[in-house]
């Protein structure tokens, strides 16, 4: 037995020694100065696939030796997997045929390690020449130093970005474009913006960034990444808003300790001294070069380090979903602190007078006192702005602040204003409302009636959790545009009275009317407010009108049997005609939900219309107010019978005319907004079409309604019977 074990072990060892062993070192070379890119990255004469085939993997530490020096660096797929000014060996995974590169994040490997010096040609392009005494090719040896030794830090920097807007649920167009107004202390509202490139299509955001800049009327751009010649070659450049504006092209590298970038900062300051505002700063992604320049300007204008870090890190949420308060956030935020420390020469960044440090740094570069003063004046100005702190995270995730509604309004904010909220990982423009008047998933500042303090909210979402806020987190709110959302505020806060004297007739008061659209015969279909639920004081009036119209069949979308019995038991109940119809089996109770996009609602519609098809006209359709659920049902019946979209919209909107006295001509904007928000959304849910397609007039709404009903279970026979009875 022992002999068998020994033989087995010997056999296993022999087999092991026969297996191929991947090399843990490789000799290659930096072939020529022409293989050093404009950022100072060194391309080696080995492909990423070849290096990987030798057993090197991401997060390995390797020692790279060349000339008389060596440096231990991590193997990474992109420069951003290391901190600012740190070196790495880049082994590409998007195209493994690419050469392996030695890089320094926000720096130049070539100049840092004395391999080559960078120069700029007259056309702005950059090239390198070997340092004195160095000849290319330069022998380079790569040896394994520690297998997987960088894995913990690697995980922090392992960020994935998509260039497809649809992959970013909950992000606005501005956030996707990494576009935002800078709101740090000292910067005037609407004076300074930053974004990804409005012209470079490389990351699929240029058109959106250009649109945002056009909407904000940006007059001057600082392009940190391109020359005028290279920018003009981008596809779509000639048609962009950007192409007709005042642009400073600097074509800088990523290393702001280089002479090129220092000179670029001086040129930028001279430009900013009298550049028409608003001004937008960008590079390609709006992350590193734009991140440092934005931070420098924020320092100059008087921002705190916390404000600067917060603004810098918004980019990492917009691109990668990095949330404030996490270890990853803390680690990545060190990049801007390190860059300010190194480039500006600040010894203690946490306690420094950053404004004084920025002025001293700029003067050291050669920027005059007069220019610095002019830039501060140009980018400064008045802002309606308040800063508060989170005092409570409400049960639905809204961030309640220590800013009272009264004080907020006294500061100059009014309902319907657009405001820029800067909080945690968030910086974007959102509305200020007194109710949840935004779509599901959208954000708003809330001044809820009966509450004392404002809150920042996501409708059906958790703002605090999403953006990394906790008790005590600062929230800065800046006025962005007066009244941008005023119409929405007014439309959503409409109220009506329950006093019959305020209405010109019983029909208007009870929202009772005959539906007379194309395909529906006289005296066949009616709609109204509830004839039994007297919450709004209309039940008796609606009941009397139903009796006068000779209604024979009722589709009640609002109630169940228990609710109807409770209404009938109330003192003063005066809807005997309705109850007689119910007792005779001519009323169907559906208790439909408000959400007309739900399967439950659609199933209720089919059940109700099937009931109508099997009973006699005249029909009455109602919910509580006779506005939305009854509006959807009327829309289906009207479409089924052959009505046009114009007829359907007009009938739906009559409820708003009745209740709120909205005049289609005098209140045209309000009228149209309500229609688009309500009846067009209903039509879209039935047809699956866009608003543009719906208003084209080329849609067969009758066929669409039939498809909707059959897809939710209504038989072709009942649909045919219903059409016949409506004639």
Render pLDDT for 19-55 as a digit per residue (tens, 0 to 9): 334 558 999 999 999 999 988 999 999 999 999 999 9
Last residue in a domain, options 349, 379, 409: 379
| 183/132 same-domain check | no
Closest listed residue to residue 447, CA positions, set 462, 437, 432, 461: 432
Q: How distant is the alpha carbon of residue 598 from its chain centre? A: 25
pLDDT of 20 reads 39
Check residues 242 and 80 and name the one with the higher pLDDT.
242
Q: Average pLDDT in the 579-599 region?
A: 95
Based on C-alpha coordinates, what's the Rg of the chain?
34
pLDDT of 120 reads 85
pLDDT of 195 reads 98
Does any domain span residue 165?
no
Using the 8-state DSSP alphabet, how is residue 416 labeled?
Answer: T
Percent of the chain at pLDDT > 90 equals 86
| 590/660 same-domain check | yes
Does any domain span residue 60?
yes
| 117/193 same-domain check | no
Spell out the alpha helix ranges (H) of 43-139: 48-53, 109-112
| 619/695 same-domain check | yes
Q: Average pLDDT in the 297-310 region?
A: 98
Last residue in a domain, options 351, 379, 407: 379
CA distance 719 to 727: 13
CA distance 112 to 254: 13
pLDDT of 633 reads 97
Using the 8-state DSSP alphabet, how is residue 452 labeled?
Answer: S
CATH number at residue 671: 3.90.190.10
Measured CA distances, 651 to 510, 528, 626, 647 (Å): 15, 12, 12, 6
DSSP for 352-400, please give it.
Answer: S-HHHHHHHHHHHHT--HHHHHHHHHHH-----EEEEEEEEE-TTS-EE
| 205/255 same-domain check | yes
CA distance 655 to 105: 62
pLDDT of 125 reads 82
CA distance 280 to 194: 5
Residue ranges making up the domain that contains 346: 175-379
581 in helix, strand or coil? helix
- Strand ranges for 192-305 from DSSP E: 192-195, 220-223, 246-249, 279-282
| 77/141 same-domain check | yes
Q: Average pLDDT in the 425-439 region?
A: 96
| 439/528 same-domain check | no
Check residues 257 and 419 and name the one with the higher pLDDT.
419
Using the 8-state DSSP alphabet, how is residue 433 labeled?
Answer: E
| 317/409 same-domain check | no
pLDDT digits (tens, 9 = 90+) for 394-427: 999 999 999 999 999 999 999 999 999 999 999 9
Q: What would the two tokens of residue 256 be?
A: 């702001």
Q: What would the two tokens of residue 624 be?
A: 């509580």
Three-point CA angle 267, 269, 272, nearest 5°: 110
pLDDT of 18 reads 39
Residue 697 binned pLDDT confidence (cut-offs 50, 70, 90):
low
Percent of the chain at pLDDT > 70 equals 96
DSSP for 660-673, please give it.
Answer: H---TTTTHHHHHH
Instruction: Please say whether the dihedral angle defined by the alpha carbons of residues 451, 454, 459 and 463, taken in this order, is positive or negative.
Output: negative
pLDDT digits (tens, 9 = 90+) for 58-88: 999 999 999 999 999 999 999 889 988 899 9
Does any domain span residue 278?
yes
Residue 151: is its pLDDT beyond 50? yes
Residue 122 binned pLDDT confidence (cut-offs 50, 70, 90):
confident
Q: What would the two tokens of residue 42 be?
A: 């060194």
pLDDT of 448 reads 93
pLDDT digits (tens, 9 = 90+) for 454-467: 999 999 999 999 99
| 145/237 same-domain check | no
Question: Total structural domains in the chain?
Answer: 4
Q: Are 592 and 556 in contact (CB under 8 A)?
A: no
pLDDT of 106 reads 85
pLDDT of 157 reads 85
Does any domain span residue 2?
no
Q: Average pLDDT in the 659-682 region?
A: 91
What is the pLDDT of the chain when averaged over all its residues? Answer: 93
Residue 704: is its pLDDT beyond 90? yes
Last residue in a domain, options 492, 525, 540: 492
* Numbers of helices and strands, H then E, in the chain: 28, 26
Strand partners, 387: 476
Does any domain span residue 8?
no
N-term to C-term CA, the chain: 97
Q: Average pLDDT in the 137-149 region?
A: 95
Residue 722: is its pLDDT beyond 70? yes
pLDDT of 677 reads 84
CA distance 157 to 78: 10
Residue 5: is its pLDDT beyond 50? no
Strand partners, 25: 143
Residue 689: is its pLDDT beyond 90? no
The residues, ordered by sequence, that sit 6+ positions from 566 with a Cβ below 8 Å of its Cβ are none
Residue 389: is its pLDDT beyond 90? yes
Instruction: List strands edge to edge, sheet with 138-146.
Output: 25-30, 138-146, 61-66, 69-76, 87-90, 99-104, 42-47
Does any domain span residue 18?
no
pLDDT of 83 reads 84
Does any domain span residue 113?
yes
Residue 17 binned pLDDT confidence (cut-offs 50, 70, 90):
very low
Any idea how long the chain is? 727
Closest listed residue to residue 527, CA positions, set 644, 634, 639: 634
pLDDT of 14 reads 36
pLDDT digits (tens, 9 = 90+) for 599-656: 999 999 999 999 999 999 999 999 999 999 999 999 999 999 999 989 999 999 999 9
Does any domain span residue 153?
yes
CATH number at residue 70: 2.40.30.90
pLDDT of 23 reads 58
| 546/690 same-domain check | yes
Q: How distant is the alpha carbon of residue 432 from its chain centre? A: 17
State the burial class of residue 431 (Cβ atoms within 10 Å of its Cβ: 0-12, 13-18, 19+). buried
pLDDT of 200 reads 98
The pTM for the full model equals: 0.79
| 429/280 same-domain check | no
pLDDT digits (tens, 9 = 90+) for 481-530: 999 999 999 999 999 999 999 999 999 999 999 999 999 999 999 999 99
| 81/97 same-domain check | yes
Residue 273: is its pLDDT beyond 50? yes
């Amino acid at each position: 037995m022992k002999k068998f074990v020994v033989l087995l072990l010997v056999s296993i060892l022999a087999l092991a020694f026969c297996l191929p062993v991947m090399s843990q070192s490789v000799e290659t070379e930096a072939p020529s100065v022409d293989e050093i890119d404009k950022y100072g990255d060194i391309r080696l004469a080995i492909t990423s696939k070849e290096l990987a085939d030798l057993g090197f993997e991401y997060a390995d530490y390797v020692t790279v030796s060349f000339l008389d020096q060596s440096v231990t660096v991590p193997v990474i797929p992109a420069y951003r997997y290391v901190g600012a000014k740190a070196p790495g060996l880049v082994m590409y995974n998007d195209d493994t045929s690419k050469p392996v590169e030695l890089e320094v994040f926000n720096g130049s490997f070539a100049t840092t390690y004395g391999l080559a010096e960078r120069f700029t040609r007259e056309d702005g392009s950059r090239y390198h020449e070997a340092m004195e005494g160095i000849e290319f090719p330069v022998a380079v040896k790569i040896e394994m130093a520690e297998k997987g030794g960088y894995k913990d830090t690697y995980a922090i920097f392992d960020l994935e970005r998509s260039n497809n807007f649809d992959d970013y649920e909950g992000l606005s167009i501005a956030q996707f474009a990494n576009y935002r107004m800078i709101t740090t202390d000292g910067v005037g509202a609407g004076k300074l913006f930053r974004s990804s490139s409005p012209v470079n299509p490389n990351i699929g955001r240029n058109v959106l960034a250009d649109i945002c800049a056009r909407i904000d009327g940006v007059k001057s751009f600082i392009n940190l990444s391109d020359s005028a010649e290279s920018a003009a070659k981008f596809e779509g450049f000639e048609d962009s808003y950007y192409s007709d504006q005042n642009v400073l092209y600097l074509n800088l590298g990523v290393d702001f300790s280089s002479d090129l970038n220092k000179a670029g900062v001086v040129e930028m300051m001279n430009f900013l001294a009298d550049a028409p505002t608003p001004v937008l700063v960008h590079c390609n992604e709006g992350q590193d070069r734009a991140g440092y320049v934005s931070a420098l300007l924020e320092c100059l204008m008087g921002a705190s380090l916390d404000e600067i870090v917060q603004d810098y890190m918004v980019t990492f949420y917009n691109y990668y979903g990095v949330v404030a308060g996490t270890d990853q956030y803390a680690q990545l935020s060190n990049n801007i602190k390190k860059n300010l420390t190194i480039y500006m020469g600040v010894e203690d960044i946490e306690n420094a007078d950053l404004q004084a440090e920025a002025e001293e740094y700029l003067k050291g570069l050669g920027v005059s006192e007069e220019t610095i003063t002019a830039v501060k004046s140009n980018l400064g100005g008045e802002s309606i702005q308040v800063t508060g702190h989170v005092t409570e995270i409400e049960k639905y995730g809204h961030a309640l602040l220590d800013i009272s509604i009264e004080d907020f309004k006294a500061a100059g904010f009014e309902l319907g204003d657009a405001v820029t909220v800067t909080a945690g990982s968030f910086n974007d423009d959102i509305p200020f409302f007194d109710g949840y008047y935004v779509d599901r998933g959208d954000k708003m500042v809330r001044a809820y009636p009966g509450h004392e303090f404002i809150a920042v909210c996501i409708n059906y979402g958790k703002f605090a959790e999403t953006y990394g806020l906790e008790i005590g987190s600062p929230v800065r709110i800046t006025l962005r545009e007066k009244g941008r959302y005023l119409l929405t505020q007014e439309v959503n806060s409409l109220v009506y009275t329950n006093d019959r004297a305020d209405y010109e007739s019983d029909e208007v008061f009870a929202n009772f009317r005959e539906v007379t659209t194309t395909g529906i015969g006289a005296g066949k279909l009616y709609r109204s407010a509830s004839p039994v639920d007297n919450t709004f004081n209309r039940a008796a009036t609606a009941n009397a009108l139903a009796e006068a119209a000779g209604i024979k069949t009722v589709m009640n979308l609002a109630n169940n049997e228990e609710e109807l019995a409770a209404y009938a038991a109330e003192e003063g109940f005066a809807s005997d005609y309705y109850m007689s119809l119910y007792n005779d089996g001519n009323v169907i109770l559906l208790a439909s939900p408000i959400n007309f996009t739900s399967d439950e609602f659609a199933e209720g519609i089919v059940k109700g219309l099937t009931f109508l098809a099997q009973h006699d006209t005249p029909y009455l359709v109602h919910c509580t107010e006779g506005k939305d659920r009854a509006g959807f049902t009327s829309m289906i019946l009207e479409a089924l019978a052959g009505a046009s979209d114009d007829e359907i919209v007009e009938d739906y909107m009559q409820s708003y005319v009745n209740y709120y006295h909205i005049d289609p001509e005098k209140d045209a904007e309000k009228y149209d907004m309500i229609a688009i928000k309500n009846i067009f959304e209903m039509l879209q849910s039935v047809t699956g079409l866009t608003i543009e397609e719906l208003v084209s007039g080329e849609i067969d709404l009758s066929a669409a309604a039939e498809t909707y009903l059959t897809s939710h279970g209504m038989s072709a026979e009942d649909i045919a019977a219903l059409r016949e009875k409506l004639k």
